[in-house]
Chain A
Amino acid sequence: MRIGVFVCHCGTNIAGTVDCAAVAAAAQQFPEVVLAVDTPYACSEPGQRAIIEAIEQKGLNGVVVASCTPRMHEATFRRTVERAGLNRYMFEMANIREHVSWVGRDKKLNTFKATDLVRIAVEKLRYNRPLTAKSFAVNKRVLVIGAGVAGIQAALDCADGGLETIVVERTSTVGGKMAKLDKTFPTVDCSVCVLGPKMVDLAQHRKIKLYAMSEIADLSGYVGNFEVSIRRKATYVDWNKCTGCGLCADKCPSRKAPDHFNELVGRTTAISIPFPQAIPKKASIDASSCLHFLKDRCGVCAKVCPVEAIDFEQQDEVVKESVGAVVVATGFDLLDIRRFGQYGGGRFPDVVTSLQYERMLSASGPTGGHLKCPSDGREPKSVVFISCVGSRDRSMDRAICSGFCCMYTAKQAILTKSHVPDCETHVFYMDIRAPGKGYDEFIRRAQEEYRTNYVRGRVSSVYPKNGRLAVRGADTLLGTQTEVMADLVVLAVGAGAAEGSRDLAEKLRISYDAYGFFMESHPKLKPVETNTAGVFLAGACQGPKDIPASVAMGSAAAGKVMALFSKERLESDPQVAQVNAVRCVGCLKCLRTCPFGAIQEVQARDGSTKAQVIESVCQGCGVCTVTCTDRAIELQHFTDNQLLAEVNYLCRSWMEKSPA
């Protein structure tokens, strides 16, 4: 083999604490190395040209670049060697920046370690073999999970781009959290008025198939060829017949069902349509409140329904769809208000969450848009808003800022004044976070034009006093304790991951953070991708986000899907596991440990059981290779021989020499 070694200075990033010329000189003596040089910037155009020229002039058939992390430039250099006619896998990278120069100060020791890293790259390269990618066809249909504003946007953009789009929504209507809001900041325009047209477009788009009251049961397959099982939950109403006339809800005698759309403010009927603009506008029965299911009588809805749509015998049903990409847009949920006992959450009826308050302000809400205290129905004359409830609070393991609470709190203070002009409004805050367009001006309006009293400090407790609520906090700017009397206390409860998000992440094989929010592939450069190819993120499922950011991310995810589908065939990564059938004894431990379902059982011609890798599903994680007791399964490009060559050198050299 004829190997060339290129040691990059990366300006002073590496050369500052590593003697690159010495590393190159040492590499010159390594086995099968015919050329070793140092270069100021290997990734620059002249740097790459030098590599190509060396390959051509010296007849190299393997290249090592010692520079930064492979996550940064491995793809760059693979293309470089390819341009010179080599197979891209005849290239190895030694990371002497993140692993050496950035973490050590001693130049002598750094040079020693960098030399070792170059040596093990050379040792591995000697066992490298050319690998070739395979290609497979792409199913150009997309699945969007969640039909809040982010999911709606992603679905509409995909469908407008000509893609067949499947939308799965867990509740009985699309619209998500945005449909529950009364108004939106900073324009104070009616939320459902701006969202409504998009909801209608979603329902009527001929490229979109909507599954409401449905959940993802299972997802298998891989980018370009996913198989998804969708569980359609029983609604006990035949939606093909239901016209959404609402007669059933009018006549339903069970009027104490929990009203989830209204955030449990007020009650609804056991058979109901969540709100007037619901899409699809279909009735569904809450079996836990329905007299037919509880006591086996009633059936009034079935009698009054003019189209005979009621079907008490309906069962959950699983349907299958095939798609090539998935957009996850499952949003967020507020933390449970009962966790905030010091504020009377869940104990005092007049302490509500911001989303409950939103429903109390809404004209389609349970109070018809008239502001009333839940305890006795009186009109509040003083409303206190508490910010950062469950946000930026390490004592609750919630160090994160939810990001949008400052803005909606200001909006709610403004709306309070327009509902009850003589109502006092107070906001307890720690810091105001309003970096969006027109956002800080909006906060100023709440204070200057709408006379909201902003108090800088946290609240320690809310307690009943003379039939009202006393809110005891601090005014840190004055250095005092502050107490305000309130008729209604609104908690700006922090945003958490949506219920069930961890389970969904397991099904989709994507990662989530400590709070249950889904992980993007790179925080800056791959914000909508996940580490599972073909699965993209949109909206607050990735972290709390306001409406403009969610919409933008929905469009971004759609853009990613369309870029993916712009190719007829996709290339698979050849760095996958491969079974040596002669060694395989068919124990199938690999099948059970594979986190991606990439291994299948096959019968050999002699009838024996063997494991087989589905190359397009395998992600190259290597779990199977360490599981296999017979060394029958190996990861291409990380074979036993390649790894042992590295280890052998390291162990041998360690015994022969040691750093001065």
Chain B
Amino acid sequence: MPVMELSASQDRAFFEAVCAKSGQDLLRCYQCGNCTAGCPMQPYYDLAAHQVMRLVQTGQRKAALTCSSLWLCAGCGQCSARCPNQLDVALILETLRHMARRAGYNPQPRVAQFSRAFLKSVHSHGRVFELGLLLRYKLASGRLLDDADLAPRLLKVGKLHLTPTSTPGQAEVAAIFRRYEQGAGS
């Protein structure tokens, strides 16, 4: 591994931005590893949660924003519940995820593809239409046969409908999307 040139690479503005956007004081983190210890997704991470915290502390913007772990976090909040310094670690990871998306980093394209397909489905129907979501995601990702073996079981228990079902809140949900598109978010 190359030497980390701290004086050249330390991006304090990035550190401050993560603290400000997440509302968490990352200087509290003393690297005890309790976030990592309880994380159910840790086996799939490229960087452990505490290592992501350390990258932010040392202002390593690119390394923090390009790691896959941000996209694999299930958002269960175990890390936040266990942190002895009361840091909302899951919220920090989410903050980084947004920053990564805006910066155009996408190390796990399928997560973004799935999220887009999910939102599109909710936008169209007011709630998720599983079959539509499934097809849209598979076409976008090219992973046509992933999890196909689950389909018969889902059909049998009535969890996979062939046509979208309507929901009473459809108009309100559509309004949410409209507000977002009109610039409430970015």
The interface of chain A, by Cβ under 8 A from chain B, is 342, 388, 392-396, 430, 456-461, 472-476, 479-482
Q: By the criterion CB–CB under 8 Å, are A474 and B47 in contact? A: no
Tell me the minimal C-beta distance from B63 to chain A in angstroms.
Answer: 13
Q: A473-B33, A481-B36 are in contact. Are A460 and B82 (CB under 8 A)?
A: yes
Tell me the minimal C-beta distance from A453 to chain B in angstroms.
Answer: 16
A129 to B38, CA, bound (A): 69
Count of residues in B whose CB is under 8 Å from the partner chain: 23
The chain B residue sitting closest to A474, CB to CB, is B33
Q: By the criterion CB–CB under 8 Å, are B84 and A394 in contact? A: yes
CB of B83 within 8 A of chain A? yes
The interface of chain B, by Cβ under 8 A from chain A, is 28, 30-39, 42-43, 47-48, 50-51, 78, 82-86
Q: With a CB–CB cut-off of 8 A, which chain B residues contact A473?
A: 33, 37
CB < 8 Å neighbour of B39 from A392, A396, A430, A481: A481
A475 to B42, CA, bound (A): 12
A459 to B30, CA, bound (A): 14
A393 to B86, CA, bound (A): 9
A458 to B82, CA, bound (A): 10
Q: With a CB–CB cut-off of 8 A, which chain A residues contact B50?
A: 474, 476, 479
Q: With a CB–CB cut-off of 8 A, which chain A residues contact B30?
A: 392, 430
Q: With a CB–CB cut-off of 8 A, which chain A residues contact B28?
A: 394
Q: By the criterion CB–CB under 8 Å, are A394 and B86 in contact? A: yes
Q: By the criterion CB–CB under 8 Å, are B39 and A458 in contact? A: no
Q: By the criterion CB–CB under 8 Å, are B33 and A476 in contact? A: yes
Q: By the criterion CB–CB under 8 Å, are B37 and A481 in contact? A: yes
Can you list 28 residue pairs at the A/B interface with Cβ under 8 Å? A342-B82, A393-B84, A394-B28, A394-B86, A457-B32, A457-B36, A457-B37, A458-B82, A459-B34, A460-B38, A460-B82, A461-B37, A461-B38, A472-B37, A472-B38, A473-B37, A474-B32, A474-B33, A474-B36, A474-B48, A474-B50, A475-B33, A476-B31, A476-B32, A479-B36, A479-B47, A479-B51, A481-B39
Q: With a CB–CB cut-off of 8 A, which chain B residues contact A430?
A: 30-32
A342 to B84, CA, bound (A): 13
Q: A393-B84, A481-B39, A481-B42 are in contact. Are A458 and B47 (CB under 8 A)?
A: no
The chain A residue sitting closest to B78, CB to CB, is A460
Tell me the minimal C-beta distance from B56 to chain A in angstroms.
Answer: 15
The chain A residue sitting closest to B30, CB to CB, is A430
Q: By the criterion CB–CB under 8 Å, are A474 and B85 in contact? A: no
Report the 3 A-B pairs with minimum CB-CB distance, sorted nearest first.
Answer: A474-B33, A460-B38, A460-B37
Q: With a CB–CB cut-off of 8 A, which chain A residues contact B33?
A: 456-458, 473-476
Q: By the criterion CB–CB under 8 Å, are B42 and A395 in contact? A: no
**Given known contacts A473-B33, A474-B36, what 7 new A-B pairs fall within 8 Å (CB)?**
A388-B32, A456-B33, A458-B34, A459-B34, A474-B32, A474-B37, A476-B32
Q: By the criterion CB–CB under 8 Å, are A460 and B34 in contact? A: yes
Tell me the minimal C-beta distance from A254 to chain B in angstroms.
Answer: 43
Q: With a CB–CB cut-off of 8 A, which chain B residues contact A482?
A: 37
A142 to B34, CA, bound (A): 49
Q: With a CB–CB cut-off of 8 A, which chain B residues contact A474?
A: 32-37, 48, 50
A58 to B164, CA, bound (A): 102
The chain A residue sitting closest to B85, CB to CB, is A394
A472 to B42, CA, bound (A): 12
A430 to B48, CA, bound (A): 16
A461 to B32, CA, bound (A): 14
The chain B residue sitting closest to A481, CB to CB, is B42
Q: With a CB–CB cut-off of 8 A, which chain A residues contact B48?
A: 474, 476, 479-481
Q: By the criterion CB–CB under 8 Å, are A458 and B85 in contact? A: no
Q: With a CB–CB cut-off of 8 A, which chain A residues contact B42?
A: 480-481
A330 to B71, CA, bound (A): 53
Tell me the minimal C-beta distance from A409 to chain B in angstroms.
Answer: 16
A430 to B34, CA, bound (A): 10
A455 to B170, CA, bound (A): 53
The chain B residue sitting closest to A431, CB to CB, is B30
Q: With a CB–CB cut-off of 8 A, which chain A residues contact B38?
A: 460-461, 472
Name which of A456, A457, A479 has the most chain B CB atoms within 10 A of its CB.
A479
Q: With a CB–CB cut-off of 8 A, which chain A residues contact B47?
A: 479
Q: With a CB–CB cut-off of 8 A, which chain A residues contact B82?
A: 342, 458, 460
A472 to B43, CA, bound (A): 13
Q: By the criterion CB–CB under 8 Å, are B84 and A476 in contact? A: no
A620 to B37, CA, bound (A): 55
Q: With a CB–CB cut-off of 8 A, which chain A residues contact B86?
A: 394-395
Q: With a CB–CB cut-off of 8 A, which chain A residues contact B84?
A: 392-396, 458
A554 to B96, CA, bound (A): 53
Q: With a CB–CB cut-off of 8 A, which chain B residues contact A457?
A: 32-34, 36-37
The chain A residue sitting closest to B35, CB to CB, is A474
A394 to B31, CA, bound (A): 14
Q: With a CB–CB cut-off of 8 A, which chain A residues contact B34?
A: 457-460, 474
Q: With a CB–CB cut-off of 8 A, which chain A residues contact B32?
A: 388, 430, 457-458, 474, 476
A430 to B50, CA, bound (A): 13
Q: With a CB–CB cut-off of 8 A, which chain A residues contact B51?
A: 479
Q: With a CB–CB cut-off of 8 A, which chain B residues contact A392?
A: 30, 84
Q: A474-B48, A481-B42 are in contact. Are A395 and B37 (CB under 8 A)?
A: no
Tell me the minimal C-beta distance from A431 to chain B in angstroms.
Answer: 8
Tell me the minimal C-beta distance from A619 to chain B in angstroms.
Answer: 39
Q: With a CB–CB cut-off of 8 A, which chain A residues contact B39?
A: 481
Tell me the minimal C-beta distance from A473 to chain B in angstroms.
Answer: 5
Q: With a CB–CB cut-off of 8 A, which chain A residues contact B37?
A: 457-461, 472-474, 481-482
